[in-house]
Each structure stands twice: as C-alpha cells, then as structure tokens.
Structure 1
Amino acid sequence: MSFDRRAFRNALGCFATGITVITTATDAGETFGLTANSFSSVSLDPPLVLFCLGKTSNNLDVFTSSGRFAVNVLAEGQRDLSVRFSTAFGDRWEGLTWETWETGAPILAGCLASMDCATEAVHDAGDHVIMVGRVKRLASVAEGKPLLYYKGDYAGITDQG
C-alpha cells in the first residue's frame, strides 16, 4: 500500500452518500440502532440491500444474530436523528415515533424511505462485516430531499435553476 489510512479516508469522503439509521430488535423486543452511510442496493430480483458494520461496533453481535434489520433513509431535516444514533450517550429511542412491520425491526417515522429486511447473509470484509438483507416491505415518500454526508460533514442538495 503506497498511501496511508487518512489519505484513503479522504478519498472515500469525496463520494457523497445518503445517511441511514439501521435498526434491529432482539426476539425479546430490545431495540438497537446506528447511523450508517455504508448502505447500497445489491439486487432488484430478489430485492437485496446491504450495509457495512465495523467489527469493533458495540452493536455487532446483536445485528449479526438478530436475523433482521431495517434501513431508514434520512431526510434533510433529520440531522438530529443521525447524530442521536451515531453516539453512545443517552437513550436513543426516547421521544421517537416508530413502528414495526414484518420482521420486528424498528421503522422510524418521517424518513424518506424505510426498508424492512430479513438478514440474508453476513460476509467478512477486512475490518467490517457486510450485512445483506432481503427487503420484505418498504415505503417511500414522493417529496423531500435526502440528508447527505460529504467530506466528513453533513450536506444537502441545492436546487440549481
């Protein structure tokens, strides 16, 4: 490798991404969630999506063993939700409106899109795991703009007339 870790992170930061909150729940109903921008579609048929989770994450065991997760795509006005689920402090769920669908993973209110997924596969990938999910149910809104992440900071879409 002829570059350092920081240079690699800086190069990756040039790719603007949407921001999601990935959620799951145990069979006992305990809820977990985290902010992730490492989300992608995989396949239309069957409907598969993925997200990547660091092996050092406190949530690794619950996500890899629960058999379910939901992807909640954040809108531009949901920066506080992104921050809430990216820190380990406080009750992340306090005051939030959410529901469950087929798998039992929390679906957050007010998001641009939500996908309820059954875990299809977990792949080892360096210092991360790749979580692949089969979409069981989804919803999206017709209007709204996404919350973005670019070069280490939040960003948005501006209309250019």
Structure 2
Amino acid sequence: MHAEGAPGPSSAGSPESPEDRTYFRQVLGNFPTSVVAITAAMPEGPPEAMIVGSFTSVSLDPPLVAFLADRSSRTFPKIRDAGRYCVNALASDQEALCRAMAMRGSDRFDGIGWERSPLGNPVLDGVVAWIDCELVEVVEIGDHCLAVGRVHALRSESVKTPLLFFRGGYGDYFSSTSVLLDRLVGW
C-alpha cells in the first residue's frame, strides 16, 4: 500500500525477495557507508586492525558508538578480548591503506604511521577523525556481532572528505553545499 500520489513499485517490476543474497547486497550497495579501521593494541604482540563499513553513533548520554563485525572474522575476537579499540575514519585518499588493512594474514601495520590514543590504541596517520572506546557490549545478530563502545576520547584530525564505500567501490562520492560552504568560510 502506498500513499495517494506516491510512486508504487518501480517500473523494473515487483520487489525481489530479501532471501536472494546477491540481490540483497546489490540493493544495500546503494546506501553509501563510511569506511573505518578498528584498531586495538594487544597485551602481547603487534596491534590488530580490521576494516568495517558499518559504524554509527548510538547515544549521547552516555557517549556510545557501535560497529558490526562479521562473525567469521578472525580479528574481531582479538579486539573483543582486548576490551578497547579506536575507530579511525579513513580519508578519501586512504584507499590503499584500507585495502592493505583488509588483507588476511598480513602485518596490517607494516609501513603504516600511527601513534597511541589515550587508551593506547593505534590512531592512524592521515585519518579524518578518531574515537577511542572501551568495549561495553557485544550482541550476536544474524551473521554479525554488534560491538558497542563507550567513548573515552575523540578528535577531528583533518578537513579531508571521508573514504566511502558505494555500489561495490571505494571513493570520495561526497558532494555537499555545506562542505563547500565550510571550506569557503574556513571552518
């Protein structure tokens, strides 16, 4: 049912079933997502990192954020066990860094510049912003885990545009009059 005057089903035909995984992913690909690197210092050994495209704010009081991790991830259990992490909002010029950190079995920090956050987690050089968190809850939902973190520290680092994932590709697809105005005014 649709409101009077509102468009009905698209001219491409009736809606497809969400059970068709390929079609489901194709449609959801029309919703751009920011790309973030979740980083964590380990008690022993090198830091860990994973790339996610499902980060969101949750609450202002208390300050909470969340991301989704695939349940098959080999990195997420390590980050969960560390109990803290840093969300690094990658900049539009960091696609190569994103791809390097997304590779399995590699030293994800090889050749990557970073410094420690207040909680000791890696803050990557050149990011748009970062948020340092303590993990407060993990909820298994479908084939993912929702990781909720309490924010301890955060900072905007640059006026660069964020790296986005859209329709199966990475890029800087963001065009906004407010961003242009901010650049002209010098925000």
Q: Secondary structure at the match of 2:153?
A: strand
User: Which range is displaced more, 129-138 or 85-94?
Assistant: 85-94
TM-score, scaled relative to structure 1 = 0.92
Q: Which of 134, 139, 142 matches 1:118?
A: 134
Residue 7 of structure 1 aligns to which amino acid in structure 2? Answer: Y
Q: Which residue of 1 aligns with 2:17?
A: 2
- Quick check: 1:87 aligned with 2:97? no
Higher mean C-alpha deviation, range 110-119 or range 137-146: 137-146
The structure-2 alpha-carbon separation of the partners of 1:115 and 1:11, relative to structure 1 and needing over 3 Å to count, comes to same
Q: Does 2:144 match 1:128?
A: yes
- Among 105, 116, 126, the alignment partner of 1:100 is 116
**TM-score with structure 2 setting the length:** 0.80
Q: Deviations over 1:25-49 (max 9, x none)?
A: 2222531001111111101111111
Task: Give the equivalent residue in structure 1 for 2:34.
Answer: 18
> What's the secondary structure of 2:134's corresponding residue?
strand
Secondary structure of 2:17 counterpart: coil
Pick aligned residue for 1:140 from 156, 175, 178:
156
- Matched residues, percent identical? 38
Letter in 1 for 2:130: S
Which residue number corresponds to residue 11 of structure 2?
A: none
Root-mean-square deviation over aligned CA pairs: 1.8
Q: Which runs of 5+ in 2 are unaligned?
A: 1-15, 181-187
User: Aligned-pair distance for 1:64?
Assistant: 1.7
What does residue 62 of structure 2 align with? 46
Q: How many residues align?
A: 161
The equivalent of 2:166 in structure 1 is 150
1:69 to 85, 90, 96: 85
**Aligned-pair CA distance for 1:63:** 1.8
Q: Which runs of 5+ in 1 are unaligned?
A: none
| Counterpart Cα distance in 1 of 2:119 and 2:46 | 13
Higher-Rg structure is 2
Task: Name the structure 2 match of 1:57.
Answer: 73
- 87-96 vs 51-60, which moves further: 87-96
User: What SS does structure 2 have at the residue aligned with 1:62?
Assistant: helix
Report which of the two has the higher share of strand: 1
SS in 2 for 1:82: helix
